[in-house]
Amino acid sequence: MGETSLFAALGAVIRRDLLLAMRRKSDVLTTLFFFIIVVSLFPLGIGPEMAMLRQIAPGVLWVAALLATMLSLNRLFAADHADGTLEQMALSAVPLGVLVTGKVIAHWLLSGLPLALLAPVLGLQFDLATGSLGVLVVSLLIGTPVLSLIGAVGAALTLGVRGGGVLVSLLVLPLYVPVLIFGAGAVEADLTGLGATAHLSLLAAFLALAAFFGPWATTVALRIALE
Amino acid sequence: MGNNGGFENRFGMNTRLINWFGYASPATFYPLAGKMIPWFWALAALFGIAGLYVGFFVAPTDAQQGEGYRIIFIHVPASWMSMFIYLVMAFWAALGLGFNTRLSGMMATSLAPTGALMAFLSLWTGALWGKPMWGAWWVWDARLTSELILFFLYIGFIALQSAIDDPRRADKAGAVLALVGVVNIPIIYFSVKWWNTLHQGASVSLTRSPSMAQTMLWGMLLMALAFWMYAIAVSLTRVRAIILERERHAGWVEELEEVAT
């Protein structure tokens, strides 16, 4: 199997998942609106003082992004598992890890990327400065792929399991903690004038680790689920 | 041959190396675990009594923290064990995935509740210690927080395994989760360096001499040994129960004295 055909397979999986999502736009949009609604609820619960909102903005936006990503995890493998596509993928000549990577990339393009692009608009509601908005977008752009990669492991482990939806949150949310700390920490560091480089570098290190181990662990978990 | 031959045979077996993989079978491990459990209970009691004696009667009163510090004789061993048990669990999980041995998965399953208990105990005693020392039951300090995350990881492991009906799949899925979660253990250890917060730095370290009195350290180490032996005894008892449950259709289980009666 040549290198080009691996990339062709990767591209095909991404294209297919994006096409499927475009045919059923509501799935993608629901996640996005969930993100918007959760973020908008916080000022209502806490009060409209701008100083306070500025302070909690990074944490609120990041927690909402975490929850939104988590909610969209079940569409990663569930539909393909139900109609047998996943078994065909596991049987195909292309390594399952490559196909899994493609699916995770597609998942990020449909959940993490829109969240990152939407976040500055919501950040404005929290009176974040322009520079901090930039850091927020960058931190989300680096951090959300990690969420998709780790989430894929959880989604694969709970495939076809009783109460999978709630269970996946129990498995995945504790593992999201480092990303949350350094993602929200980057924006906070920028707000307090410390500079966000250290936090962003650590986030990028998490991404490198997750990109290496994530698809591998997901593949193992999928094979267990398909046994 | 008769008796003589049998004796020679047994003698020959003694000189041979122990076949470790032989004990990977539930049928051979079940009686072995049964024989080991009383010993570990005895060791746990012995170390526990010695540790509590040192902790309560020998160790001096702390200059700054008064008598309240004595909770570390429970708190620190529980925290150590909660982290150590997760590593052991991940070790058995990896072994189970690698060698496809059923017993390894059962071992990991039997360790999880004890690990969760230790993590909970560590958090609980930490809160009891924190109230007089810091004036708060809970602070969002790095080590407290990562211990809490460790507790969540145990709960996730137990929840995942109990949600899957097929025990073989439960073992393997749990193994993958345990190995993914093991990434959390170094984060716990290095969190003290990563986030500089309220919690005092680690008072026991391998590189420099401990900053506490020798007797305090001895009490803590004895208690840690007691907790360790307890954890082994309890998880061996639990693994025996798991073996009986899963192998209930096997012939050797029906021949057991405790099952037959």
- Counted across chains A and B, CB pairs separated by less than 8 A come out at 63
Query: What average pLDDT does range A196-215 have in this prediction?
Result: 89
User: Best of A220, A222, A223 to disrupt the B interface by mutation (most B CBs within 10 Å)?
Assistant: A220
**B149 interfacial to chain A (CB closer than 8 Å):** yes
In DSSP terms, B66 is beta-bridged to: B62
What is the structure's pLDDT at B8?
41
Query: What average pLDDT does range B246-259 have in this prediction?
Result: 79
Helices (H) and strands (E) in chain A, counts: 10, 0
Asked if A161 and B159 come within 8 Å (Cβ–Cβ), the reply is no
What is the structure's pLDDT at B200?
47
Question: In percent, how much of chain B has pLDDT > 70?
Answer: 78
Asked if B149 and A177 come within 8 Å (Cβ–Cβ), the reply is yes
Query: What average pLDDT does range A132-150 have in this prediction?
Result: 92
Asked if B97 and A162 come within 8 Å (Cβ–Cβ), the reply is no
Q: Is a pLDDT exceeding 70 seen at residue B96?
A: yes
Computed over every residue of chain A, the mean pLDDT equals: 88
pLDDT tens digits for range B146-194 = 788 889 999 999 999 998 888 888 999 999 999 988 876 676 456 444 5
Asked if B173 and A163 come within 8 Å (Cβ–Cβ), the reply is no
Q: Is a pLDDT exceeding 60 seen at residue B113?
A: yes
d(CA B214, CA B212): 6
Q: Tell me the three state secondary structure of residue B62.
A: strand
What is the structure's pLDDT at B61?
74
Min Cα distance A225 → chain B (Å) is 7
Q: Say how many C-beta atoms besides its own lie within 10 A of residue A152's C-beta.
A: 28
Query: Is B143 or B206 the better-scoring residue by pLDDT?
Result: B143
Are B114 and B85 in contact by the 8 Å Cβ rule? The answer is: yes
What is the structure's pLDDT at B168?
87
Flag the least confident range among A99-108, A196-205, B224-233: A196-205
Selection from A105, A94, A111 nearest residue A33 by Cα: A111
**B142 interfacial to chain A (CB closer than 8 Å):** no
Nearest to A174 among B153, B169, B179 (CB): B153
Query: What average pLDDT does range B54-75 have in this prediction?
Result: 77
Q: Is a pLDDT exceeding 70 seen at residue A135?
A: yes
Query: What average pLDDT does range A78-95 have in this prediction?
Result: 87
Flag the least confident range among A101-105, A191-195, A209-213: A191-195
Asked if A170 and B155 come within 8 Å (Cβ–Cβ), the reply is yes
Which chain B residue lies closest to A158 (C-alpha atoms)? B160
Structure tokens given for B31 = 């009686």
Report residue B118's pLDDT band, with 50, 70 and 90 as the boundaries: very high
b/e per residue B122-141 (b: at least 16 CB within 10 A):
bbebbeebbeeeeeeeeeeb
Flag the least confident range among A173-187, B25-39, B154-168, B186-200: B186-200
Nearest to B160 among A171, A173, A177 (CB): A171
Q: Is a pLDDT exceeding 90 seen at residue A103?
A: yes
Report residue B261's pLDDT band, with 50, 70 and 90 as the boundaries: low
What is the structure's pLDDT at B17?
59
Q: Which pTM does this prediction carry?
A: 0.84
What is the structure's pLDDT at B4?
42
User: Best of B97, B145, B151, B177 to disrupt the A interface by mutation (most A CBs within 10 Å)?
Assistant: B177
User: Best of B144, B153, B160 to disrupt the A interface by mutation (most A CBs within 10 Å)?
Assistant: B160
d(CA A74, CA A164): 8
HSE-CB of B19 using CA atoms within 13 angstroms? 9
B94-99 contacts at long range (C-beta below 8 A, 24 or more positions apart): B94/B175, B94/B179, B96/B171, B96/B172, B96/B175, B97/A220, B97/B172, B97/B175, B97/B176, B97/B179, B99/B24
d(CA B128, CA B237): 30
In DSSP terms, B62 is beta-bridged to: B66
What is the structure's pLDDT at A130?
84
Q: Tell me the three state secondary structure of residue B66.
A: strand
Report residue A105's pLDDT band, with 50, 70 and 90 as the boundaries: very high
Q: Is a pLDDT exceeding 50 seen at residue B13?
A: no
Q: Is a pLDDT exceeding 60 seen at residue B208?
A: no
Q: Is a pLDDT exceeding 60 seen at residue A153?
A: yes
Q: Say how many C-beta atoms besides its own lie within 10 A of residue A220's C-beta.
A: 22
* Cα–chain center distance at B123: 16
Flag the least confident range among A60-64, A118-122, A125-129, B227-231: A125-129
**B180 interfacial to chain A (CB closer than 8 Å):** yes
Nearest to B177 among A163, A164, A171 (CB): A171
Asked if A170 and B159 come within 8 Å (Cβ–Cβ), the reply is yes
b/e per residue B164-201 (b: at least 16 CB within 10 A):
beebebbbbbbbbbbbbbbbbbebbeebbeebeeebee
Are A181 and B187 in contact by the 8 Å Cβ rule? The answer is: no
All structural domains of chain B with their residue ranges: 37-60+68-196+211-260
Give me the DSSP letters along A64-85. Answer: HHHHHHHHTTHHHHHHHHHTTH
Query: Is A4 or A105 the better-scoring residue by pLDDT?
Result: A105
Give me the DSSP letters along B26-40. Answer: HHHHHHHHHHHHHHH
Q: Is a pLDDT exceeding 70 seen at residue B203?
A: no
d(CA A147, CA A154): 11
Computed over every residue of chain B, the mean pLDDT equals: 79
What is the structure's pLDDT at A50?
84
Q: Is a pLDDT exceeding 90 seen at residue B115?
A: yes
d(CA B129, CA B71): 7
